């Protein structure tokens, strides 16, 4: 992905026409569109190819299985037109490595979850987040996912992975994270969902976030 606006839209709507309309409205202001299980289960896997005409697609399936199953999932998602897949890191190095190897063969990207943005992530994930970040860097994953709701954790993880690994940060807007704060903390992109697609004017909402980001870069 090219770092132009530094904004990624998290699109969790359940209607194909609505998803396409929102994506068209905000395409000027986003570097990628992140989709997950809700939209794919509601609209079918071909929603990936439809949206990929408007922006690069990150498939946020948080894949967490044995290596062979991870490979099979990634193959299907890449074949459908996704440019990147998000995987969990807690399943270990072999499950991650097979995803990274496949992505490199296909000229695609893998993002690895270190910590999630909701409060419950503090129950278990933060204790292993730094180890997962190091594993992601060691296995040459393109990027990691770290929480905009805890920018201090983004700063700590950036120290571990250095500048070669990308950080994308969810949790801006509805969950309380600040786009400018997490960019200053070391994130490369912020991920915003409800703050854009639930707004009365998604285009204006996306533009406002991009304008905020520009104040700190």
Quick check: 23 and 47 in contact, CB under 8 A? no
Radius of gyration over every alpha carbon of the chain, rounded to an integer in angstroms? 16
Q: Which of 204, 153, 162, 210 is nearest to 182 (CA)?
A: 153
Residue 117 φ/ψ, nearest 5 degrees: -95, -10
Other CB atoms within 10 A of residue 96 CB: 25
Q: Which of 50, 53, 62, 134 is catalytic?
A: 62
Helix (H, G, I), strand (E, B) or coil at 33: strand
The answer to whether 21 is a known catalytic residue is no
d(CA 151, CA 22): 28
- The 3 state secondary structure assigned to 56-119 is CEEEEEEECCCHHHHHHHHHHHHHCCCCEEEEECCCCHHHHHHHHHHHHHHCCEEEEECCCCCC
Q: Contact 26/208 with Cβ under 8 angstroms?
A: no
* Residues with active-site annotation: 62
């Amino acid at each position: 992905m090219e770092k132009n606006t530094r904004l990624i839209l998290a699109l969790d709507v359940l209607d194909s026409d609505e998803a396409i309309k929102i994506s068209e409205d905000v395409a000027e202001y986003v570097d990628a569109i992140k989709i997950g299980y809700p939209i794919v289960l509601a609209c079918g896997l071909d929603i990936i190819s439809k949206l990929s005409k408007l922006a690069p697609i990150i498939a946020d399936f948080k894949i967490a299985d044995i290596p062979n199953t991870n490979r099979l999932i990634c193959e299907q998602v890449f074949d459908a037109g996704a440019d990147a897949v998000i995987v969990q890191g807690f399943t270990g190095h072999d499950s991650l490595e097979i995803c990274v190897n496949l992505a490199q063969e296909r000229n695609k990207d893998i993002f690895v979850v270190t910590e999630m943005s909701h409060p419950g992530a503090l129950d278990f994930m933060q204790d292993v987040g730094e180890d997962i970040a190091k594993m992601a860097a060691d296995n040459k994953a393109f990027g990691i996912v770290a929480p905009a709701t805890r920018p201090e954790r983004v700063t700590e993880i950036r120290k571990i992975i250095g500048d070669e690994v990308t950080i994308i940060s969810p949790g801006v807007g509805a969950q309380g994270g600040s786009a400018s704060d997490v960019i200053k903390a070391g994130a490369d992109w912020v991920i915003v969902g409800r703050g854009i697609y639930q707004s009365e004017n998604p285009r204006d909402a996306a533009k406002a976030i991009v304008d905020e980001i520009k104040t700190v870069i």
